[in-house]
Amino acid sequence: MKKETNISTSLNTDFASVLEIIQYHRSQAVRAINHASILTAWHVGAYVSNKIKNAQWGAKVVQQLAEYIHTQDPTLKGWSRRTIYKMVQFYDVYSSAQFVERANSLRLLSAPDEFVPFRTAQIGDGQIVPFEMAQLPKLLTRTGWTNHQIILQCCTTTEQYIFYILYAEYEHLKNKELERAIKADTYSRMLSDRKWQSETLKNTYPQTQVLLKDRAISEF
């Protein structure tokens, strides 16, 4: 009886190791899918944004693009005109000088490997068409594409964008959980707590409204 128990314990340890391997690689696969989704949104958003800003495309052409994608590959789901415009917003907001400067000031974009370059697009016949676009901040890969849509829809300031990207990652928030956090104004409530304020901020501006500062970022 004792021998059977020892075998069972040994097998449980082995089985737990196998399960750990499975869970690890599944999490890696999820990360890879998330990264690919973010890159897709960024690149498509940049390409369409460039066309719109140069007055080459309007709303009608974007609608035609959505219809073209569906016709050419019906297996691609969710590529509506609305989704494409969300990708344009994603690119325009996060490539803006205001966002980049604020993120840089918080040392979120300081390392060279914080960027993923992409400056070309390949069309069907293999021709490479160059176009200029900002590089993808690695900061954006910290949460998923759907979470980004929620943040862009519900938030209005650069500080809020940055805060909820980091908060979603830190708390492993799913879509509905993130929506509840934003609705509850977690940003204001958490940063109004003096424990989140740097000593310099508390001493220099004791009565001022709390902004997103290094101390809050470092906690994440």
* Exposed/middle/buried for residue 179 (C-beta within 10 Å: 0-12, 13-18, 19+): middle
Sole residue written with tokens 């500080």: 159
17 pLDDT above the threshold of 80: yes
CB 166 within 8 A of CB 181: no
Taking the whole predicted model, whether its pTM rises above 0.95 is answered as: no
* Exposed/middle/buried for residue 113 (C-beta within 10 Å: 0-12, 13-18, 19+): exposed
CB 152 within 8 A of CB 93: yes
H helix runs in the chain, sequence order: 2-53, 59-72, 81-94, 97-105, 145-154, 158-170, 175-183, 186-191, 199-204, 214-219
pLDDT for res 128: 41
Of 203, 193, 191, residue with least CA distance to 159: 191
Sole residue written with tokens 């052409």: 61
- pLDDT tens column, 142-162: 999 999 999 999 999 999 999
- pLDDT tens column, 34-89: 889 999 999 999 999 999 999 999 999 999 999 999 999 999 988 999 999 999 99
- pLDDT tens column, 165-180: 999 998 999 999 999 9
Cross-strand bridge partners of residue 115: 137
DSSP for 18-48, please give it.
HHHHHHHHHHHHHHHHHHHHHHHHHHHHHHH
pLDDT for res 219: 59
133 pLDDT above the threshold of 90: no
